[in-house]
């Protein structure tokens, strides 16, 4: 315990900067202000000033973390003196706090995300969750015999900011569950699959052991570096556009933002690929590339919105709506109503239960409409993107053991499929056409992060 | 065991001694039915990666061989894929290690039947999906099965989802050939008629509503949800079609489908289902029962249920008679095969949120229960659940016991 305290107290020793060598980390977040007394704050500011100077000499940017209770004017002055590249606000701050920090770049770690999706900020920092997979029974939840593991993931959250084809950095802030090396690398991958990045945060125990140069701790640190490097080596993947024949209409001013987020979370959880359409941009043109639309956020739809959706269904599309669409079923969870060449599925409950909707998509969407079918990933999540005829299917396994035999089917005829993982060289996979315009491939074993590039 | 009035009835005595249902069974059997019996063999198998083909061949020899029964014939295997999505499992484990039969067992059986000269092998299960039409093979892919390897294990291997019509134009009506309790006949997917040799490939598990699920309970999955669910759902009825028709008797099957013998009989699931399962086994007799207990979920039929845990009993049980095979399986699970409703595993603890209130503790009892399906089978003349009358081969029971109750409750020796 004493050793750990000593290690943590000396964490801003210049020697710790050596840990960054060989990693792609080029920015450090250091504790700058915690709202402590003036003397303690001044000491911290001076400590960071020295450390930041050494980091800058190595080409590493330094941001100071500010916690609630800090004096904004004092923080601003100290930040200028330390020549910090910016300040990160972690917590709930009084209104106007950021403005009092002056011209220094300020990056708040955001918790309420709905309105941020249309933000024009060049980068965003978001509070996320600890990636994990757990048995429902271990969580004290009584479920059916065939209940699946519960997965906490940030993939849907990062993906929810891809409203168009443009990419911008989304930084996920969360403390990992420090029980194993696998937990850290999953944090890296979980943020990266949809194009985000994890603000690498290591727990006190790992920090203390790194300071002592403990071999196991160094191995863990190297694995984090390897996963970060894998992400940077394939930076072009971030610019692939989200894939999905299902459009989810998003009302960022909706009355149930948490429920809306759950639709996105659980669709992703069930490997249902989708793209987002803002309610404000709903039009015939914006729906033209979809085959199905989830419109439960339109509660109720306006007359113009209803016409757009009816026209979409008439031409053969599927609209999934809540009871405000009209004529909801009395007993069954939802009812399908033919409309022209297509149909509308109207749910009984208001709002429809996100878990039920996500599960029902497996029945409502034919495989060819789903576009992507993944088999044998119950403790994993997939994320599909595409660009110029190439398709990238990324997978992350949240279980502590590898999965054997993951089968993927995807619309289209492809000639090659190559598997990329941080652990191994690229592997060409055997693929074959299924005879109905789809391609099937098998991943023999998936340890944690895998990416299949179809060309 | 005393009821709230502090009296101890003769019924209690019979129940405690495990003879309540058994006594009924013996009485009926003695009256006019000769209860068949057949050898049952038990093997200790430590891993699915061992040579299961050789193991199964040895077990078939131990029960007298089945070559003449399968040579040149169509063999149908009804496998147990609880929930049928393949996604329900514990983190880091496959469904085959917990609630499903394992693909290595199915693959080995396919290979052995092929070696014995079976002309055609069909793998069957009802996948319980709202939308019919997904190939059964896709369900198997969801647990990482090497479907191609199983297909290549014999010259003709077919898969069919029997939750609906499948590849036929109509359902087959199979009459209960034993003494029926609840239904006189069932309408089933054609596959259960279009076969010469029928195998129940079950997983060795506890069951929330029936105590245990073995080769007889496995056959509940042959009832097509899409047929029995044609009628509208009455208000308040279970959303699960098969439950409201079979488990609770809330509705009768649609017109044209064999109806219940007595719609006024007991609606309690614990009374009804063991008898109904016996009827199903009487309609579609089991020629060979295989029970996979190499690895299994302990404490319930699926991984989502609280308190369940993964276990490695390391057991395979094989027999020609489903009642006897289930009885032996119960014994190696540490249970009394002739146990009554007041003792493990038939004294139950069903979740109050998932069952109608009247399906928890029935008026005539002081706790939840299920009657012993094997004893119901004995009572209907399907076979004997009396270990003293069963020709046991392979590993003796006392050397094979893996106490499911003890492991479930964390009381087994480490």
Local structure of B404: helix, strand or coil: helix
Q: Give the number of other CB atoms < 10 A from CB of residue A388.
A: 7
Q: Which residues are CB-contacts of A210 (< 8 A; sequence separation ≥ 6)?
A: A16, A19, A202, A217, A218, A221
Distances (CA, A) of B107 to A11, A184, B104, B317: 57, 38, 5, 17
Q: Is the ipTM beyond the 0.90 threshold?
A: no
pLDDT at A145: 66
pLDDT at B33: 54
Residue A213 has pLDDT above 70, yes or no: yes
Strand partners, B175: B185
pLDDT at A9: 77
Instruction: Work out the angle between the directed axes of helices A38-57 and A72-82 (0-180°, nearest 10).
Output: 30
Q: Which residues from chain A sit within 8 angstroms of residue B232, using beta carbons?
A: 331
User: For A246-259, what is each residue's pLDDT tens digit?
Assistant: 999 999 999 899 99
Of A147, A398, A400, the CB nearest to B88: A147
Q: Which of A51-55, A256-260, A290-294, B92-96 has the highest mean pLDDT?
A: A290-294
Of B91, B131, B146, the CB nearest to A379: B91
Question: How would residue B24 be classed by pLDDT, with cut points 50, 70 and 90?
Answer: very low
Of B82, B138, B308, the CB nearest to A146: B82
**Quick check: B86 and A401 CB within 8 A?**
no
Question: How would residue A179 be classed by pLDDT, with cut points 50, 70 and 90?
Answer: low
Any CB–CB contact under 8 A between A326 and chain B? Answer: no
Nearest-Cα distance to chain A for B301, in Å, is: 6
**Quick check: B146 and A140 CB within 8 A?**
no
Local structure of B388: helix, strand or coil: helix
Q: By CA distance, what is A399's nearest residue in B?
A: B92
User: For B219-240, what is each residue's pLDDT tens digit?
Assistant: 999 999 889 977 777 777 766 7
pLDDT at B351: 80
pLDDT at B86: 64
**Quick check: B92 and A379 CB within 8 A?**
yes
Distances (CA, A) of A388 to A176, A241, A283: 36, 10, 25
Taken in order B64, B67, B70, B75, the sign of the CA dihedral is positive
**Quick check: A148 and B353 CB within 8 A?**
no
Residue A152 has pLDDT above 50, yes or no: yes
Q: Which of the pair, A253 or A165, is modelled with greater confidence?
A: A253
Q: Tell me the whole-structure pTM to 2 decimals.
A: 0.91
Any CB–CB contact under 8 A between A143 and chain B? Answer: yes
Let me know: does A303 contact A280? Beta carbons within 8 Å. no
**Quick check: B141 and A375 CB within 8 A?**
yes
pLDDT at B25: 41
**Quick check: B303 and A145 CB within 8 A?**
yes
Helix ranges restricted to H, A114-246: 155-159, 181-192, 204-211, 215-233
Nearest-Cα distance to chain A for B208, in Å, is: 9
Q: Give the number of other CB atoms < 10 A from CB of residue A243.
A: 20
Q: Which of the pair, A277 or B26, is modelled with greater confidence?
A: A277
Residue B12 has pLDDT above 80, yes or no: no
Q: Which residues from chain A sit within 8 angstroms of residue B90, using beta carbons?
A: 135, 149
A122-140 average pLDDT score = 87
Site of tokens 């198998």: B45
Question: How would residue A288 be classed by pLDDT, with cut points 50, 70 and 90?
Answer: very high
**Quick check: A143 and B304 CB within 8 A?**
yes
Task: Write down the mean pLDDT value for chain B.
Answer: 89
The encoded tokens of residue B352 equal 């109050």
Q: Which of the pair, A272 or A177, is modelled with greater confidence?
A: A272
Rounded Cα–Cα distance for residues B402 and B410 (Å): 13
Q: Which option is the CATH number for A372-454: 1.10.10.10, 3.40.50.20, 2.60.40.1180, 3.40.190.10?
A: 2.60.40.1180
**Quick check: A375 and B144 CB within 8 A?**
yes
Nearest CA to A75 out of A89, A61, A62 is that of A89
Rounded Cα–Cα distance for residues A390 and A232 (Å): 19
Rounded Cα–Cα distance for residues A247 and A135 (Å): 31
> How do the domains of chain A map onto residue ranges?
2-237, 245-368, 372-454
The encoded tokens of residue B165 equal 């019509």
Rounded Cα–Cα distance for residues A424 and A443 (Å): 13
The encoded tokens of residue A68 equal 């609630």
> How do the domains of chain B map onto residue ranges?
10-408
Any CB–CB contact under 8 A between A363 and chain B? Answer: yes
Strand partners, A392: A385, A453
The encoded tokens of residue B287 equal 């020629």
Rounded Cα–Cα distance for residues B106 and B137 (Å): 13
Q: By CA distance, what is B85's nearest residue in A?
A: A146
The encoded tokens of residue B206 equal 């506890």
Rounded Cα–Cα distance for residues A168 and B173 (Å): 62
User: For B304-363, what is each residue's pLDDT tens digit?
Assistant: 787 889 999 999 999 999 999 999 999 999 999 999 998 999 999 888 877 888 888 888
Q: By CA distance, what is A404's nearest residue in B?
A: B144
Nearest CA to B156 out of B114, B111, B120, B108 is that of B120
Of A146, A360, A363, the CB nearest to B88: A146
Nearest-Cα distance to chain B for A372, in Å, is: 14
Specify the CATH class of A245-368 in words: alpha beta
User: For B112-160, what is each residue's pLDDT tens digit?
Assistant: 999 999 999 999 999 877 677 889 999 999 999 999 999 999 999 999 9
Q: Which residues from chain A sit within 8 angstroms of residue B303, using beta carbons?
A: 135, 137, 145-147
Rounded Cα–Cα distance for residues B252 and B258 (Å): 9
Residue B8 has pLDDT above 80, yes or no: no
To test the contact with chain A by mutation, choose from B49, B84, B86, B87 the residue with the greatest count of A C-beta atoms within 10 A, namely B87
Let me know: does B384 contact B189? Beta carbons within 8 Å. no
Let me know: does A102 contact A113? Beta carbons within 8 Å. no
Please give the CATH architecture assigned to the domain spanning A2-237: Alpha-Beta Barrel (3.20)
Burial of B51 (0-12, 13-18, 19+ CB in 10 A): exposed
């Amino acid at each position: 315990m004493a050793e750990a305290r000593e290690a943590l107290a000396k964490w801003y020793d210049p020697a710790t900067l050596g840990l960054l060598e060989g990693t792609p980390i080029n920015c450090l977040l250091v504790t700058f202000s915690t709202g402590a007394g003036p003397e303690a704050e001044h000491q911290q500011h001076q400590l960071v000033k020295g450390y930041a100077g050494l980091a800058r000499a190595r080409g590493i940017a330094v941001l100071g973390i500010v916690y609630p209770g800090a004096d904004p004017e004092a923080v601003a002055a100290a930040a200028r003196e330390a020549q910090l590249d910016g300040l990160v606000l972690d917590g709930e701050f009084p209104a106007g706090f950021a403005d009092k920090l002056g011209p220094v770049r300020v990056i708040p770690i955001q918790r309420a995300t709905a309105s941020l999706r249309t933000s024009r900020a060049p980068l965003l920092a978001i509070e996320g969750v600890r990636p994990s997979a757990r048995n429902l029974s271990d969580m004290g939840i009584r479920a059916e015999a065939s209940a699946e593991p519960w997965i906490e993931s940030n993939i849907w959250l990062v993906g929810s900011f891809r409203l168009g084809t443009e990419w911008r950095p989304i930084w996920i802030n969360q403390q990992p569950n420090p029980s194993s090396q696998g937990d850290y690398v999953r944090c890296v991958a979980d943020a990266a699959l949809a194009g985000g990045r994890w603000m690498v945060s290591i727990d006190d125990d790992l920090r203390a052991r790194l300071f002592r140069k403990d071999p196991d701790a160094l191995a863990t640190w190297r694995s984090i570096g390897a996963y970060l490097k894998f992400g940077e080596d394939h930076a072009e993947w971030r610019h692939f556009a989200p894939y999905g024949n299902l459009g989810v209409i998003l009302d960022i001013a909706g009355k149930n933002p948490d429920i809306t987020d759950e639709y996105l979370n659980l669709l992703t959880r069930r490997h249902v690929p989708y793209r987002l359409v803002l309610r404000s941009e709903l039009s015939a043109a914006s729906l033209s590339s979809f085959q199905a639309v989830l419109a439960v956020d339109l509660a109720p739809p306006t007359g113009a919105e209803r016409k757009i959706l009816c026209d979409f269904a008439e031409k053969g599309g599927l609209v999934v709506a809540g009871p405000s669409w009209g004529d909801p079923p009395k007993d069954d969870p939802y009812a399908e109503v033919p409309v022209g060449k297509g149909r509308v599925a109207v749910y009984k409950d208001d709002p429809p239960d996100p878990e039920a909707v996500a599960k029902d998509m497996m029945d409502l969407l034919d495989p060819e409409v789903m576009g992507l079918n993944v088999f044998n990933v119950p403790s994993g999540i997939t994320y599909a993107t595409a660009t110029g005829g190439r398709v990238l299917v990324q997978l992350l396994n949240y279980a502590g053991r590898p999965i054997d035999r993951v089968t993927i089917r995807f619309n289209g005829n492809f000639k090659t499929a190559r598997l990329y993982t941080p652990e191994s060289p690229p592997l060409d996979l055997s693929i074959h056409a299924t005879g109905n315009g789809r391609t099937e491939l098998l991943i023999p074993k998936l340890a944690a992060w895998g990416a299949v590039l179809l060309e | 065991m005393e009821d709230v009035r502090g009296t101890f009835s003769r019924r209690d005595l019979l129940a405690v001694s495990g003879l309540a249902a058994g006594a009924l069974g013996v009485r009926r059997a003695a009256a006019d039915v000769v209860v068949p019996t057949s050898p049952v063999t038990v093997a200790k198998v430590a891993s699915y990666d061992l040579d299961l083909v050789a193991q199964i061949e040895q077990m078939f020899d131990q029960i007298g061989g089945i070559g003449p029964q399968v040579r040149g014939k169509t063999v149908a295997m009804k496998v147990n894929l609880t929930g049928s999505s393949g996604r329900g499992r514990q983190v880091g484990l496959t469904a085959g290690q917990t609630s499903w039969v394992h693909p290595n067992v199915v693959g080995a059986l396919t290979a052995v039947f092929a070696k014995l000269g079976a002309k055609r092998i069909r793998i069957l299960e009802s996948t319980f999906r709202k939308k019919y039409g997904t190939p059964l093979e896709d369900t198997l892919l969801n647990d990482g099965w090497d479907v191609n390897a199983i297909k290549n294990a014999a010259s003709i291997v077919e898969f069919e989802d029997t939750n609906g019509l499948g590849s036929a134009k109509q359902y087959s009506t199979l009459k209960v050939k034993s003494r029926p309790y609840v239904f006189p006949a069932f309408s089933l997917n054609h596959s259960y008629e279009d076969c010469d040799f029928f195998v129940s490939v079950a997983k060795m598990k506890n069951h929330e509503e029936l105590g245990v699920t073995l080769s007889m309970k496995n056959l509940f999955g042959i009832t097509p949800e899409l047929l029995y669910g044609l009628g509208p759902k009455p208000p308040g009825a279970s959303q699960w079609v098969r439950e409201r028709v079979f488990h609770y008797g809330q509705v009768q099957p649609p017109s044209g489908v064999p109806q219940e013998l007595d719609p006024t009989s007991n609606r309690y699931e614990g009374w009804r289902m063991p008898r109904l399962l016996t009827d199903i086994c009487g309609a579609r007799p089991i020629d060979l029962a295989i029970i996979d207990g190499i690895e299994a979920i302990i404490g319930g039929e699926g991984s989502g249920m609280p308190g369940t845990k993964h276990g490695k009993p390391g057991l395979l049980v094989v027999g020609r008679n489903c009642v006897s095979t289930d009885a032996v399986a119960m014994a190696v699970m540490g249970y009394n095969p002739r146990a009554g409703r007041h003792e493990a595993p038939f004294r139950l603890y069903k979740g109050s949120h998932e069952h109608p209130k009247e399906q928890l503790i029935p008026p005539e009892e002081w706790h939840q229960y299920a009657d012993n399906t094997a004893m119901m089978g004995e009572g209907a003349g399907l076979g004997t659940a009396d270990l003293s009358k069963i020709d046991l081969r392979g590993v003796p029971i006392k050397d094979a016991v893996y106490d499911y109750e003890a492991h479930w409750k964390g009381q087994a020796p480490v």
